[in-house]
Amino acid sequence: MTPPTGPSRADARAVKISRLRDADAFLERLDILGAQLPLDREVDPGGPLAGTLEVAGTRLANRFAVLPMEGWDGTPDGRPSDLVRRRWGRFAASGAGLVWGGEAYAVQAAGRANPRQLCINPESEADLCELNALLRAGDPQPFTGLQLTHSGRYARPEGPPAPRVAYRHPVLDARVGVDSDAVLMSDMELDDLIGDYVRVARLAERAGFGFVDVKACHGYLGHELLSARTRSGSYGGDLRGRSRFLRRTVEAVRSEAPSLAIGVRLSVFDLCPFEPGEDGIGRPLPDALRDARPFGASEDGLSFDLDEPLALVEMLEGAGVSLLCTTAGSPYSNPHCQRPAFYPPSDGYQPPEDPLVGVARQLDATRIVKQRFPDLCVVGSAYSYLQEWLPHVAQAVVREGGADLVGLGRMVLSYPELPRDVLGGAPLRRALVCRTFSDCTTAPRNGLVSGCYPIDPFYKQSRAAGALADAKARARAAAEPATG
């Protein structure tokens, strides 16, 4: 199945959302782009977003979810720091009915994406109890899940890349320094890794989380396996083989931690890798597709084809998954697809399309999944770029059945109480609206903790803010052509 519209036009570069003064201007812009988004002109505080929903025996208070967001700010031994506690406390203050994952929690120290990612450690159970209690102190009390991960190709447990890959990739290997088969994860290692997922799931169960997310997105191991067509053995080849790791993990968690519901955060489609062109604008590398067609990508790698993802979701639902969070692509190989932004992170590229097209692509794929699987609780992503129009689109999506919940990522870093304001009928606080400056991504790319440096006074006034400004200046200078 391919998308019904071909949204982007080559001449359609980004227009700032704040320039789109009213709903007519917003709709006109979509029309120019050939993109489709549902939009309600008025937001009703008691309307669709305030609706409750029964999920896995729990009644969710409303249709907002907080998406997982790590901060590169745990302790070196994988435990929460005060920065982690502050972030989770703000997630709870959002008023959202569900907190999906909190942040990526590595099931093995070697699978951490950075040396400050949370990961299993001797005090994990106490840590998870504390973090879950922070979330559950929210009013309304959210349904909570923990995101379980192994970073695979993007593992950097000590800082430098220490990739473990599902298969050799013609483009991505060079980006993380893979030049031999020695870093291929063996089938036996994957068998053992399932046990690590189960171990942390049991701790999450004891800590009172309602579900765990067996992460399968953003280029990390669980996601990379889904495109491991060239891999031999049990965990590659056809879709059954490529999804075996995910399905076995779900089944094992189900049997060993039976009181937990199970979610999967899935990059429901991916695109081919991009790189900055000479003009700084992202350009696709479709040649990479010869042996490595991204999961859920069309043949040219520029759009989605949901045939395989829909078949996978059917298998997952059959295996007992009751929550699905749709996302797309990877923040490493095609960040404009994963988190549409006006300003790219320092290691990215200028958006090759109006970011509204990226938002529309993710919402469209989510709608198709939701309509095919009406019994699954489906949480969408990539709404933050909508800025002032977020509540208007969110309400229309839920009203039309395009998703059950609206997941918020970056917007919660800048404006954690947006759900509470929308549901309380308060006007949006425009000064807090995320403008997709990408500093929360640029900072960790430069070894600093993540946070909303432009808007959240806590980070704006921090010592790291100066270091971030220096890093951005260096990146700008490096991008400028030499003169004189």
Ligand X SMILES: Cc1cc2nc3c(=O)[nH]c(=O)nc-3n(C[C@H](O)[C@H](O)[C@H](O)COP(=O)(O)O)c2cc1C
> Any contact of residue 464 with ligand SF4 (CB under 6 A)?
no
Classify burial at 160, counting beta carbons within 10 Å of its beta carbon; exposed 0-12, middle 13-18, buried 19 or more: exposed
Cis peptide before 273 (omega within 30 of 0): no
Classify burial at 241, counting beta carbons within 10 Å of its beta carbon; exposed 0-12, middle 13-18, buried 19 or more: middle
Give the interface segment with ligand SF4, choosing from 58-66, 220-228, 304-312, 432-440 (CB under 6 A): 432-440
State which residue, 253 or 379, has the beta carbon closest to ligand X.
Answer: 379
Going by their DSSP bridges, the two strands 98-99 and 104-106 should be labelled as unpaired
Residue 176 token pair = 């993380």
Alpha carbon distance 280, 261 (integer Å): 44
Q: What is the DSSP letter of 469?
A: H
455 contact choice in ligand SF4, ligand X, none (CB below 5 to 8 Å, kind-dependent): ligand SF4
> Any contact of residue 70 with ligand X (CB under 6 A)?
yes
Phi, psi (rounded to 5 degrees) for 4: -70, -25
- Cβ 392 to ligand X, closest distance in Å? 15
Q: In the window 326-365, what residues touch ligand X (CB under 6 A)?
A: 327, 339
Binds ligand SF4 (CB under 6 A): choice among 439, 444, 449, 471: 439
Q: In the window 71-110, what residues touch ligand X (CB under 6 A)?
A: 103-104
- Cβ 331 to ligand SF4, closest distance in Å? 12
Smallest CA-to-CA distance from 352 within 302, 415, 295, 412 is with 302
103 contact choice in ligand X, ligand SF4, none (CB below 5 to 8 Å, kind-dependent): ligand X
Binding mask 210-249 for ligand X (x = CB under 6 A): -------xx-------------------------------
Q: What is the DSSP letter of 108?
A: S
- Cβ 66 to ligand SF4, closest distance in Å? 13
Residue corresponding to tokens 């002032």: 388
> Any contact of residue 68 with ligand X (CB under 6 A)?
yes
Binds ligand X (CB under 6 A): choice among 221, 313, 411, 422: 411
> Any contact of residue 380 with ligand X (CB under 6 A)?
no
> Any contact of residue 468 with ligand X (CB under 6 A)?
no
Alpha carbon distance 200, 197 (integer Å): 5
Residue 175 token pair = 């980006």
> What letters, b where the CB count within 10 A reaches 16 and e where it falls short, cover 413-423?
bbbbbbbbbbb
Q: Which residues contact ligand X (rule: CB under 6 A)?
A: 67-70, 103-104, 147, 217-218, 265, 327, 339, 381-385, 408-411, 440-441, 450
Q: Which residues contact ligand SF4 (rule: CB under 6 A)?
A: 410, 413-414, 434-440, 452-455
